[in-house]
Amino acid sequence: MRKQKPQWFRAARYSMVFILTVVITALCLSFVGAGAVAGFVASLVKEQDVPSKEELTEDIQQFSQTSYIFDRHEKRIGTGELRTADDRELVTLDEVSPHIIDAFISTEDREFYDHKGIVPRSLLRAAIQDLTGSPTTTGGSTITQQLVKLSVLQNPEQTYSRKAKEIFLALRLERLFDKDEILTSYLNRIYFGQGASHEHLYGIEAAAEGIFGVSAKDVNIAQAAYLAGIPQRPNAYSPFDEDTLRAGIERQHTVLKRMLDNGKISETEYEEAKQFDIANSLAKGKKHVYEEYPYLFEAIQERTAIALMKADGVDADALDVAQYDDMLTEYKQKAAEGGYRIYTTIDMELYEALNKVVRDYKGYKPDVKVKVEGIDGEITAKEQIGAALVHTETGELLAFVGGATKRASKTGPSTPSNNPDLPPSRFLPTVPGWQTASCSRARYWTILRRRPKAQVATRTTTTRGGFTDTSPPARLWPSRTTWPPLTPSAKWG
């Protein structure tokens, strides 16, 4: 266990922090300071440039956010998200319940709308509480300081220099941005732990949906108080475990008491919120798109990544196989975290019906053991099937079967893009990702060579959602696919 510093050392440290706070406040708010004081402050922040408003805007309003995929009727496919470990959906303050705003301000920064970025009195109070070992700690950082730590400094070290930079940047942030901009960035930035489906929740909208299954604008007082209590210790206050739920409810009661003391709720509302059953209001876990529709997910993710590569001017033909795979992986990540709204030509009703036929079919041949050149021993070969349903006039891919098994193969789902020699038709049988003359002649244990990919016959629009962009999403359609004559040797794309 780390040895605790002597009491005199801790007293000196926090006294210095308080003095530093007063000095920097005076310098930044009154533009006063000279000689040794100015030199002392300058020495602590000497490596910190004075950021412009544009630089700070990029810091506090630059977010990764979840991308969503839609079918041809503009409905989400399954839960809708592209696969990513993190979940974030940006909101503005008018899309957040006032209860949430009241809960956070009452708990984290009661004087938020009055101070200029820091509250010296709060810093001193926090120092005294730590020095005396008080069981009650209120913290000394304002919401503005917390936003600086989360988005600008991103440095957890406890040093005079970092504290000085935090205070300096908090004061500058308050001079360049209004309170609502700061609060909006803060609510979209903070981490809330894991949700019902085990995704990591960032921002208040993802937290409300991932924990309670409702939008941030629809939570009640009890739920708002629970959410506001989580960021202090996200794992310790998770509502999805009995022990941490108990601790989370204790924290929720603390938040509710502060809301009451701050005049944000009445005594009646306080008592009713304490009696609310948090456990029964929790969201239920759902299968992600990549679990429910693995072949479809894989196809859409790859097509989106390729579209983004082309938009960035990446010349795929100039890359070798390893470089292309690395680039594709990088752009798949960008596709998942770019906040895109991806509209596909898939008709989910047709897709479900087509795949149900394959799932319900009972006539598959038994597995066989086969030898493959370059592989020691035998491997188990399973009979597979693939199909694609396309619109012959527009070239739109409406539905497809990626394989007889649910799990996506390493070669990718069976779509026309993975079978460039196959002509289009109203119902097109294919073998997953491999070249073959016809399904009637290709036996299910035959080892087939992979052919280069051609462009998939789908129309996809990727509209990136921006934090400050309030314009309606644009619909960007690629040029229409023109089909060649229906001959066995025809290539399309």
| Domain range list for the chain | 7-281, 346-464
Lowest mean pLDDT among 57-71, 194-208, 430-444: 430-444
Lowest mean pLDDT among 169-173, 176-180, 371-375, 481-485: 481-485
Q: What is the pLDDT of residue 120?
A: 81
In tens, the pLDDT along 292-302 reads 998 899 999 99
What is the pairing mode between strands 386-390 and 428-430? antiparallel
In tens, the pLDDT along 320-360 reads 999 999 999 999 999 998 889 999 999 999 999 999 988 88
The more confidently predicted of residues 470 and 50 is 50
Cα separation, 302 vs 82, whole angstroms: 11
Whether the pLDDT of residue 105 is over 90: the answer is yes
Q: 3-class DSSP state for residue 451? A: coil
The more confidently predicted of residues 194 and 446 is 194
Q: 3-class DSSP state for residue 398? A: strand
Whether the pLDDT of residue 135 is over 70: the answer is no
Per cent of the chain over pLDDT 90 is 46
In tens, the pLDDT along 72-103 reads 999 999 988 887 678 899 999 999 999 999 99
Q: Which positions ≥6 away from 470 have C-beta within 8 Å?
A: none
Whether the pLDDT of residue 119 is over 70: the answer is yes
Token digits of residue 150: 């989360």
Mean pLDDT to the nearest integer, 201-228? 97
Whether the pLDDT of residue 412 is over 80: the answer is no
Q: What is the pLDDT of residue 411?
A: 46
The more confidently predicted of residues 492 and 96 is 96
Predicted model pTM = 0.71
Residue listed under structure tokens 């080892």: 447
Element (H, E) at 274: helix 267-275
Token digits of residue 325: 């795979």
Highest average pLDDT, of 21-30, 158-167, 380-389, comes from 380-389
Buried b (16+ CB within 10 A) or exposed e, 50-89: ebeeeebbebbbebbbbbbbbbbeeeebbbbbbbbebbbb
The more confidently predicted of residues 130 and 163 is 163
Whether the pLDDT of residue 45 is over 70: the answer is no
Q: What is the pLDDT of residue 493?
A: 30
Whether the pLDDT of residue 204 is over 90: the answer is yes
Whether the pLDDT of residue 48 is over 90: the answer is no
| Residue 409 · residue 390 · CB < 8 Å | no
What is the pairing mode between strands 386-390 and 397-401? antiparallel
Mean pLDDT to the nearest integer, 379-390? 85
Per cent of the chain over pLDDT 70 is 68
pLDDT category of residue 393 using cuts at 50, 70 and 90: confident
Q: What is the pLDDT of residue 379?
A: 84
Whether the pLDDT of residue 167 is over 80: the answer is yes
Mean pLDDT to the nearest integer, 134-157? 79
Cα separation, 393 vs 395, whole angstroms: 6
Q: How many residues does the chain have?
A: 493
| Residue 464 · residue 340 · CB < 8 Å | yes
Q: What is the mean pLDDT of the chain?
A: 76
Mean pLDDT to the nearest integer, 283-288? 90
Q: What is the pLDDT of residue 36?
A: 46
Highest average pLDDT, of 262-276, 428-442, 458-472, comes from 262-276
In tens, the pLDDT along 420-458 reads 333 333 344 333 333 333 333 334 344 444 333 333 333
Q: What is the pLDDT of residue 75?
A: 95
Q: 3-class DSSP state for residue 19? A: helix
Q: What is the pLDDT of residue 248?
A: 97
Report helix, strand and coil shares of the chain as percent, to nearest 5.
Answer: 45, 10, 45
pLDDT category of residue 419 using cuts at 50, 70 and 90: very low
Q: What is the pLDDT of residue 7?
A: 53
Which CATH number is 7-281 given?
1.10.3810.10
